[in-house]
Amino acid sequence: MESGMPLSGGQRALIRESWQRVSGSPVQHGLVLFTRLFDLDPDLLPLFQYNCKQFASPQECLSAPEFLDHIRKVMLVIDAAVSHLENLPCLEEYLCNLGKKHQAVGVKVESFSTVGESLLYMLEKCLGAAFSPEVQEAWSKLYTAVVTAMQRGWEALPEGD
């Protein structure tokens, strides 16, 4: 998995250190991420439905037990990426399949830039002054590598599938 520019040792250390501060409360911080996501793109809300139930509002979605499970899964994916910073290619197949799953439920590739913005927003809110430009750049590079692998899931599907 190439990210264009590999992460330096210093960037990997910044990611690990900042994630350590976030990962202890994954649902709490995931709620910040998804609240921001729905603020930035309310049209994503209909993609989240469980048992054929549409949510009337982002608040209703954000409090649903099924959605809280989704938040936990998203935070686990981020945790896996952080845990494998030295060997991101080992996550390639997993992330490609994750991309296919997102495509199958109607997520557009373009939405991942909004998710990236929301991730950086969450990190900034959690880390405060520790969210330096260097931390932001390191996380942006990692997120780009993860999304690039997920996008390969889109490209792997034949047209019309």
pLDDT tens, position by position, 109-149: 889 999 999 999 999 999 999 999 999 999 999 999 999 99
On the question of pLDDT at 155 being above 90, the answer is no
Tell me, what DSSP letter sits at residue 160? T
CA 75, distance to chain mean position in Å, is 7
Residue 53 pLDDT level (bands cut at 50, 70, 90): confident
Among the listed ranges 5-9, 52-56, 73-77, 155-159, which one has the minimum average pLDDT value? 155-159
In whole angstroms, give the CA distance from residue 23 to residue 12.
16
For domain 17-154, give the CATH superfamily: Globins (1.10.490.10)
Where is 41: in which H helix or E strand? none
C-alpha distance from residue 73 to each of 22, 27, 68, 79, 138 (Å): 15, 10, 9, 10, 22
Alpha helix stretches (DSSP H) within 84-158: 92-104, 111-127, 133-156
The amino acid at 19: W
The model carries a pTM of 0.89
